């Protein structure tokens, strides 16, 4: 089994556990008996989830409220865990968000915060925690990309490119880990109703009408399929048949033509030139 068994001295660290897919990934891991280290900025939401997992699943939980764009805060994680006698056996790089709109009207700070969260933090936490996993000969990493990783995404250019980075990076790191006892799976969800759309600046109507209903899955279902895929040692997990078909189409379609078509469809670009 690719997912290491739980133990009192190890933890599953989940970033972006204060909401959406991350909270449900934590619930899936708790249901398998893993102690959880819940990471995000909103401490109150993390504490509520920690109490839920402890009360309902009987697992050890701790909350580390930090901003993943801050390299010093990220770098402090191993010491915080070592103080509690814990090492990270399962790392879930889930935290992420998107900006919307054309880059020529972008907010520079927000664009860079997106890259720091969606790309830099993923790379940094892999660099921080993989050496210990390889030394112990056990561990599992779940990196969260998106079906956006398979295509250009005008209107969310930096986000699409971030997720393409996470997919490419994850495939390569996974191959490097062969024979070490450590595995890595990359999750590519299609659309999921979480706080994601509102954070990105979509209205509910824009978000609902952007993709067909058949592609939308509940966060709990995405998390269930993701952790099952991690257990099975899958390389890429795309929950939902419609999303798997869509990803295949996006991979093989001519990307410049696809970009032109999508630029005419994206809610953040339509009627806003
Ligand atoms: N929803 C979708 O349609 C969809 C589709 C494909 C992929 N995804 C990916 O799935 C992952 C989870 O998204 P979601 O849909 O669950 O969205 P969400 O409900 O908005 O959750 C995003 C999580 O990321 C955390 N986060 C954001 N910026 C952070 C920062 N600087 N430092 C620490 N934590 C930060 C948020 O916590 P705080 O605000 O408390 O910090 C929150 O817990 C993301 O990587 C997203 O790109 C989502």
Q: How far is the CA of 123 from the centre of ligand 1 (A)?
A: 16
Structural domain includes residue 68 = yes
Active site annotation includes 159: yes
Q: Where are the beta strands (DSSP E) in the chain?
A: 10-15, 36-40, 61-65, 87-93, 139-144, 182-187, 236-237
CA distances from 80 to 40, 64, 66, 171, 237 (A): 15, 9, 12, 29, 31
Structural domain includes residue 104 = yes
Question: Which residue range(s) make up the domain with 67?
Answer: 10-265
98 Cα nearest atom in ligand 1: 47
Q: What is the pTM of this model?
A: 0.98
Split into its structural domains, the chain has a count of: 1
**DSSP count for the chain of H helices, then E strands:** 12, 7
Q: Are 13 and 77 in contact (CB under 8 A)?
A: yes
* pLDDT one digit per residue (tens) for the chain, 273 residues: 589 999 999 999 999 999 999 999 999 999 999 999 999 999 999 999 999 999 999 999 999 999 999 999 999 999 999 999 999 999 999 999 999 999 999 999 999 999 999 999 999 999 999 999 999 999 999 999 999 999 999 999 999 999 999 999 999 999 999 999 999 999 999 999 999 999 999 988 898 888 999 999 999 999 999 999 999 999 999 999 999 999 999 999 999 999 999 999 999 997 555
Structural domain includes residue 2 = no
Q: Where are the alpha helices (DSSP H) in 42-156?
A: 43-57, 71-75, 77-83, 108-115, 121-136
Q: How far is the CA of 11 from the centre of ligand 1 (A)?
A: 21
Q: Which residues line ligand 1 (CB under 6 A)?
A: 16, 18-22, 40-42, 45, 67-69, 94-97, 117, 144, 146, 189, 191-192, 194-196, 199
Q: How far is the CA of 96 from the centre of ligand 1 (A)?
A: 4
Q: Are 263 and 64 in contact (CB under 8 A)?
A: no
Structural domain includes residue 177 = yes
Report the distance separating Cα 64 and Cα 75, nearest Å. 13
Report the distance separating Cα 99 and Cα 110, nearest Å. 7
Report the distance separating Cα 123 and Cα 28, nearest Å. 24
Structural domain includes residue 260 = yes
Structural domain includes residue 237 = yes
CATH number of the domain that residue 162 is part of: 3.40.50.720
pLDDT digits (tens, 9 = 90+) for 16-61: 999 999 999 999 999 999 999 999 999 999 999 999 999 999 999 9
Q: How many CA atoms lie within 13 A of 236 on its CB side?
A: 22
198 Cα nearest atom in ligand 1: 20
């Amino acid at each position: 089994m690719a997912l290491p068994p739980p133990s009192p001295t190890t933890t599953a660290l989940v970033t972006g556990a204060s909401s959406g897919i991350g909270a449900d990934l934590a619930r899936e891991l708790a249901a398998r008996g893993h102690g959880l280290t819940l990471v995000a900025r909103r401490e109150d939401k993390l504490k509520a989830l920690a109490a839920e997992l402890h009360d309902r699943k009987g697992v050890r939980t701790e909350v580390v409220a930090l901003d993943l764009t801050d390299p010093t805060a990220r770098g402090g994680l191993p010491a915080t865990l070592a103080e509690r006698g814990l090492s990270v056996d399962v790392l879930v790089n889930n935290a992420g968000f998107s900006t919307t709109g054309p880059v020529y009207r972008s907010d520079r700070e927000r664009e860079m915060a997106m890259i720091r969260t969606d790309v830099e933090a993923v790379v940094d936490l892999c660099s921080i925690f993989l050496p210990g996993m390889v030394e112990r000969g056990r561990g599992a990493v779940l990196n969260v990309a998106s079906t956006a990783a398979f295509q250009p995404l005008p209107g969310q250019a930096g986000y699409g490119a971030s997720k393409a980075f996470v997919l490419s990076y994850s495939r390569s790191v996974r191959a490097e880990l062969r024979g070490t006892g450590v595995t890595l799976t990359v999750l590519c969800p299609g659309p999921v109703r979480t706080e994601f759309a509102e954070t990105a600046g979509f209205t509910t109507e824009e978000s609902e009408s952007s993709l067909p209903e058949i592609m939308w899955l509940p966060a709990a279902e995405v998390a269930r399929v993701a952790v099952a895929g991690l257990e099975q040692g899958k390389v890429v997990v795309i929950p939902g048949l419609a999303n798997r078909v869509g990803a295949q189409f996006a991979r093989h379609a001519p990307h410049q033509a696809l970009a032109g078509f999508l630029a005419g469809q994206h809610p953040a670009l339509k009627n806003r030139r």
